[in-house]
């Protein structure tokens, strides 16, 4: 198995855990909660959960910087912000492994080159498909875009619901969490920040 080290996003080798070992671990959990993993309805559940977890946490096997390697310079000098709104976020909190569901809004100000629009959403997805805190997720997306694109500025906003709050603990079903992170011109020049917030404000109200 390959894992991504969170501090520098480099791919590192890690001890290989087989699918079979993971399936046995889920059988143990099924027994722990009071179920019988040998009953008909649960016979294939450990295998299905392993398959699902590979999808939920696929970001550990990807390097977001590589996604941003290909850029385009034929943009006739465009130097204003590029804003992509309503990028779906599906992650899991690292404290309870409960789902985090929401939307991300991303903006950057290019210097000379731009990146394909789908790549912005891919970067959000790579970092989302790991155990996360929303604060760190927001910063990881912003820092990676700033560094990899050599952008003049980056802004990232995430608005999400944490099921560790809605389904357990305090159980506040309507609670949402909004995080923002600004770099470069978005942090230094409030006119850029205000324009960005106006662009996404209708989305945040919905």
- Please check the confidence at residue 61 and state whether its pLDDT lies above 90: yes
What 3-state class would DSSP assign to 133? Answer: coil
> Domain spanning 2-56 has what CATH number?
1.10.286.10
pLDDT tens figures, 90-133: 999 999 999 999 999 999 999 989 999 999 999 999 999 999 99
Distance CA 65, CA 55 (A): 20
With contact defined as beta carbons under 8 Å apart, do 146 and 185 qualify? no
The reply to whether domains 2-56 and 70-205 share a CATH topology is no
**Domain 70-205: CATH class, spelled out:** alpha beta
Report the candidate in 41, 63, 37 with the shortest Cα–Cα distance to residue 144.
63
Mean pLDDT is lowest, of 67-76, 150-159, 183-192, for 67-76
Domain boundaries, the chain: 2-56, 70-205
Q: Which residues are catalytic?
A: 93-96, 134, 162, 164
């Amino acid at each position: 198995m390959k894992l991504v080290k969170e501090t520098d996003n480099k791919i590192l080798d890690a001890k290989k855990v087989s699918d079979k070992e993971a399936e046995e671990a889920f059988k143990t959990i099924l027994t722990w909660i009071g179920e019988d993993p040998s009953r008909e309805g649960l016979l294939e559940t450990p295998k299905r959960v392993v398959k699902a977890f590979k999808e939920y946490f696929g970001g550990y096997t990807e390097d977001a910087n590589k996604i941003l390697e290909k850029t385009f310079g034929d943009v006739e000098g465009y130097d204003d912000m590029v804003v992509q709104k309503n990028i779906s976020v599906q992650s899991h909190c690292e404290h309870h492994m409960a789902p985090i569901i929401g939307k991300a809004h991303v903006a950057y100000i290019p210097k000379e080159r731009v990146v394909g629009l789908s790549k912005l959403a891919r970067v959000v997805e790579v970092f989302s498909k790991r155990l996360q805190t929303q604060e760190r997720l927001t910063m990881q997306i912003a820092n990676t875009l700033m560094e990899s694109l050599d952008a003049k500025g980056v802004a990232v906003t995430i608005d999400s619901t944490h099921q560790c709050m809605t389904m357990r603990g305090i159980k506040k079903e309507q609670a949402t969490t909004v995080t923002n992170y600004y770099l470069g011109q978005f942090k230094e020049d409030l006119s850029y920040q205000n324009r960005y917030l106006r662009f996404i404000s209708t989305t945040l109200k919905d």
